[in-house]
Amino acid sequence: MVIVQLKGGFSNQTIKDVDYKELLKNGLRLEWDITHKTCTGCQESGGRCGRSRDADFVCYCPNGTNHPLICNSGGGKGSSRWKIGLGIGIGSLAIILLSYMIYLKKNNSSLKSRLRNSTSHPQSNSDMEECNVSFEVPIFNSTELEEATNNFAASNELGDGGFGTVYYGKIRDGREVAVKRLYERNYRRVKQFMNEVEILTRLQHKNLVSLYGCTSRHSRELLLVYEYISNGTVADHIHGQRANSSTALTWQIRMGIAIETATALAYLHASDIVHRDVKTNNILLDKNFGVKVADFGLSRLFPNDVSHISTAPQGTPGYVDPEYHRCYQLTEKSDVYSFGVVLIELVSSKPAVDINRERDEINLADFAINKIQKCAFGELIDPNLGFESDSEINRMTTSVAELAFLCLQQDKEMRPPMDEILEELNAIACNENAADVFAYADEGEGVVAPSPSHYDDSQLLKNMQLTHSPVSVTQKWGSSGSSAPGVDG
């Protein structure tokens, strides 16, 4: 509607009643009946203000249409704000979803990497916390050990240490040491590392290798530091690199090795520990041919209230208890079987496994049992020991072979415990009236286990308060994890 304000005393009237000629003579002023707010709303919605043919307000829009107020019926400025808010909300949600997808992808990739490599660092918390008890251990700096071993030079390599290579070194305080370096940085190797630390910090015995310490779980590498034993292994001396040297082991030395090794194993069993890898390569000799039993990576703490531990067979071919291998039941008698193989090695100078022997004799235990059952000791015992020329050596080597025969029985119940084996060895060495170690049945039904009196020191060992290795710098490692009974490593 257009309101016309007339001059010259005319009253207001509608435009169709106006005399235009007269109106134009007097002049006129048109006044649109439209508020500023209405036009502003149209302009904010992107349109242009205008009038229809009926003089009504119209908002002409860019798309060619027109609307009575604004181009978008949703409202001008409010609509824009709503659009902006919606856009921001959708954008934020998209960013959050994208970030979450990236996180899941990275996390999944990291998990796959951990499963492939078990751990990118040997000191992974999940690995290092496998210990079931807290214990203290002297801590060495990895840089010092690198210097001590000349950066683990090949010329310093001493040999294989079960789960790592062993290097000779000399640390800053002047001590000579043997440093074991892990082969691989995986769960199984780290578990063996921790197991050896735990076992050796519980024990202290003259016939067990001493643990000086190890690196921190936060160091670049996991390294074990032992006392250095300079004279190699029993295997080196009886059928290895030193076998034909001027220091070849006499029978008297071998008898001492048998007794001291039995002493160490009796101590372990009295301490409720099964070594699980008894072999001549793990029996070290000092300069006086004193024994140091080493390598406790596979050893197990044995609860007092169980007869066996169900676990997957581990050990070295030629030494593994056949009943343990067959039934997956680890007992102290598994060490007894392995020690029986060691005794046969000492009297025969033959390795536990030799593929150059006849098919039925590749395994030394089988070879020995066959010869002893036939009383063919001359075909088993090393003649270089004086078996044929010295009656006393003949007596001792034959008696030791008979004792080994009992240790090698397929039925673990037929094997004597380590304390009785130690007693028997001492009796053989002293030429005392040792108990008959076995007797053949008339129909070849097997052997009868001896029943000598219990070794006097066995109960003393049971009652001993275990001491820890000397600690200069200590760090406590521990875990709340536990190991449930079952088949494990």
Phi, psi of 248 (to 5 degrees): -55, 140
| Closest of 38, 40, 44, 46 to residue 68, by C-alpha | 38
Phi, psi of 159 (to 5 degrees): 150, -165
The H or E element containing residue 268 is: helix 251-270
Residue 180 marked in a binding site: yes
| Token pair belonging to 115 | 């499963």
Which whole-number Å values give the CA distances from 108 to 47, 96, 100, in the listed order?
54, 18, 12
Place of tokens 């307000």: 57
The one-letter code for the residue type at 484 is A
**From 277, 295, 335, 382, active-site residue:** 277
Q: How far apart are the first and last CA of the chain?
A: 99
Strands 211-215 and 135-140: what pairing? Answer: parallel
**CA 158/CA 47 separation, integer angstroms:** 92
DSSP symbol at 15: G
For the four alpha carbons of 76, 77, 83 and 86, in that order, the dihedral sign comes to negative
**CA 454/CA 140 separation, integer angstroms:** 43
Tell me whether residue 277 is one of the annotated catalytic residues: yes
Is residue 201 within 8 Å of 469, Cβ to Cβ?
yes
**CA 235/CA 173 separation, integer angstroms:** 31
Which residues are registered as beta bridge partners of 320?
none
Which whole-number Å values give the CA distances from 322 to 207, 237, 249, 359, in the listed order?
27, 27, 30, 18
**CA 425/CA 446 separation, integer angstroms:** 22
Beta strands in 314-368 (DSSP E): 329-330
Is residue 290 within 8 Å of 327, Cβ to Cβ?
no
Tell me how far apart the 2 most distant CA atoms of the chain are, in Å. 163
Is residue 323 within 8 Å of 411, Cβ to Cβ?
yes
Could you give the residue numbers annotated as active site? Answer: 277
Write out the binding residues for ATP.
Answer: 180
Write out the binding residues.
Answer: 180
